[in-house]
Amino acid sequence: MGKKILLLLQAACLLAALSFGFALVWNGLFNDAGYYTPTFDNAMLWAARARIIGDTGHYAEMEIVFGGITKTYHVPFWPSLVAGFSALAGLNLYWSIRAIALLQVLFLGGAVYLLAKKVSGGNKLAGAAAVFLAYNSPNLMTWGTRTTPISWGVLLLAFGLWAVAEKKKEIAGVAAIALALDHQPSLLVFVVTLLLFVIASNFSKAEQALKKKSLKEIDLAPIVAGIVAFVAYMAWHIRQTGFSCLNFKCLPQASAREFGRSIELTPFLAKFPSVIGALGVVLLVFATLGKESKEKQACGIAGVLAAAVGVFLPSTPLLLAALLLLIYAFSAMHEELLLTCFVAGALLLVKNDALGFGVFTERFLTHFDEALAVAGGCLVACAISMLNNVFSKK
């Protein structure tokens, strides 16, 4: 009886969280946008690209603004999705966009739920809490609800990482292809996260695998997903620019470089819901490293302390050192390490000015908040686990 009530309550939590996100998009589309679909940002350009696919069956090879004289470099997933949905559902372009926006926010919630549940050891409540935190992030929802590719970028990112966490390499590969052809910044977060994860999780296993000449020791899902994402994106890049632009310098955006401002993390992490996510990372260290070696426990605690000092000073080198310590502390784990790499990867890209790039910094807050939402869900799971430990000892 108790289990049934628990299941019902957990379902109610998830339903309440999903309803919140759905209501936000509904309100945006039918109250704020009202008589038309959004034209702010570049939403209508994407609508036009979808229309061209619907009309001709081909992707718009040329830009449709600025005189229509530049070969396009935009990736085709989202407009193809809209055009395909429109044809299959029999809806006109704008109703297709509205329907996809409403579905997308539910799918985003679903992907965050799956990832947070998996990372927290199957805790459904953690999943539901993560969904609600994600829907309350201005950064994530400003972009995660756009009628443009970024909304699917953040969704595919969470979904792809869930597939990696589940070691489902076929699904991870498909998600990676979709992501590569949908939204470059989200793809970058995905690839950096996987790179950190693969290095950290396989560093010690690689030697054993080489000795045994067997790949059984190696988790192939992140490797497959990373390689597939890279190959898919490069295939598109070569299709659009040929072999003379493999260093990307020929692209107009390489010359018209969009500089990003340096992000101050202290005020950012002090706000709801980011603060919950930051606390989730801290609690993850204390709740899960108990069975690890003393060395790793020490690294975990040192990582938390260094991160706290790094945020308050603020000191980016200290923060980066803290991330390395945390990654090392979790390196023998799987889901916890993936989450740490997700947070670290997104944070590295937010603070890429410290690495000498300074490009698109604030855009990656969207993904950083997504990682923090998942970590926030883990806060709930860790708190429950710690309470259980306390009461079971009594």
**Interacting residue ranges for another protein, rule: CB under 8 A:** 2-3, 5-6, 9-10, 12-13, 16-17, 20, 23-24, 27-29, 32-45, 47-48, 51-52, 55, 63-70, 72-74, 93, 125, 128-129, 132, 135-136, 138, 141-142, 145-146, 251-253, 256, 258, 380, 383-384, 387-388, 391-392
CA 222 from centre of chain:
14
Nearest distance in Å: CB 6, another protein: 5
What tokens were used for 118? 């998996």
User: In terms of CB distance, is 118 or 146 closer to another protein?
Assistant: 146
Beta strands in 200-290 (DSSP E): none
Nearest distance in Å: CB 105, another protein: 11
Query: In degrees rounded to 5, what are phi and psi of residue 298?
Result: -65, -40
User: In terms of CB distance, is 98 or 296 closer to another protein?
Assistant: 98
User: In terms of CB distance, is 18 or 228 closer to another protein?
Assistant: 18
What single letter denotes the amino acid at residue 357? F
DSSP, residue by residue, 95-129: HHHHHHHHHHHHHHHHHHHHHHHHHTTS-HHHHHH
Q: How far is CA 247 from CA 89, 191, 360, in A?
A: 41, 18, 19
Nearest distance in Å: CB 164, another protein: 27
User: In terms of CB distance, is 6 or 103 closer to another protein?
Assistant: 6
Q: Specify whether the CB–CB gap between 107 and 131 falls below 8 A.
A: no
Nearest distance in Å: CB 64, another protein: 5
CA distance 118 to 158: 11
Nearest-CA neighbor of 363 among 279, 258, 280, 275? 258
Length of the chain: 394
Instruction: Give 70's contacts (C-beta < 8 A, 6+ positions apart).
Output: 62, 63, 252
**Percent of residues in the chain assigned helix, strand, coil, to nearest 5:** 75, 0, 20
User: In terms of CB distance, is 65 or 89 closer to another protein?
Assistant: 65
Nearest distance in Å: CB 42, another protein: 3
* Beta-bridge partners for 259: 359
Q: How far is CA 155 from CA 50, 129, 159, 213, 247, in A?
A: 19, 17, 6, 37, 28
Nearest distance in Å: CB 74, another protein: 7
User: In terms of CB distance, is 15 or 246 closer to another protein?
Assistant: 15
User: In terms of CB distance, is 33 or 165 closer to another protein?
Assistant: 33
User: In terms of CB distance, is 41 or 353 closer to another protein?
Assistant: 41
Q: What angle do CA 16, 288, 296 make, to 5 degrees?
A: 145
User: In terms of CB distance, is 138 or 242 closer to another protein?
Assistant: 138
Tokens 């998009």 belong to which residue?
Answer: 25
Nearest distance in Å: CB 232, another protein: 20
CA 51, 52, 53, 54 dihedral sign is positive
User: In terms of CB distance, is 143 or 159 closer to another protein?
Assistant: 143
Nearest distance in Å: CB 389, another protein: 10
* Beta-bridge partners for 63: none
Q: How far apart are the first and last CA of the chain?
A: 25
Nearest-CA neighbor of 100 among 62, 43, 57? 43
Nearest distance in Å: CB 77, another protein: 16
Nearest distance in Å: CB 350, another protein: 19
